[in-house]
Amino acid sequence: MSYIPGTKLVPNKQVRIASTQISGIGPKKAIQVRNQLGIGDNTKVYQLTKHRIDQIIRVIRQNNSLVDSELKREIQPNIKRLISISRYRGFRHKAGLPLRGQRTHTNAKTCRKSRQFSIQRPRFVKNRLT
């Protein structure tokens, strides 16, 4: 299994599809990287050599692409700023609800998954008269 900054790539997938699993790289950027290195269309991840994987990492860094933890570090202060200035999007972030006008009555299951937690019942202590 190949390891590229912060992600493990599935070995039996095509390079272009597997590289989209890296946060910050979409389909378009994955194709650009593949074409820049001259990797074939049907090349699988397990067919790549260690040297080729290092080249992929180098090309991603040369293109000034924010990837994985760098991208998260860039986004997090923006979300905190929205929350601190009481913007609508900040409130939706804080509440864990969809931000861009999606329906919440039936289809907000994906954003509500992270909010599931067990509710603990309050424990009552019996008063003893002594």
Give the pLDDT of residue 7: 78
- Domain 70-113 carries which CATH code? 4.10.910.10
Domain boundaries, the chain: 3-68, 70-113
Give the pLDDT of residue 61: 83
Give the pLDDT of residue 118: 53
| 96 φ/ψ sector (left φ>0, alpha ψ -120 to 50, else beta) | left
Tell me the mean pLDDT per 10 residues along the chain, length 130: 71 88 88 90 89 88 79 90 92 86 76 59 63
Q: Which fold has domain 3-68?
A: Helicase, Ruva Protein; domain 3 (1.10.8)
Give the pLDDT of residue 28: 92
Give the pLDDT of residue 81: 94
Tokens of 78: 């923006």
Among candidate residues 13, 17, 49, 51, the one with its CA nearest the CA of residue 34: 17
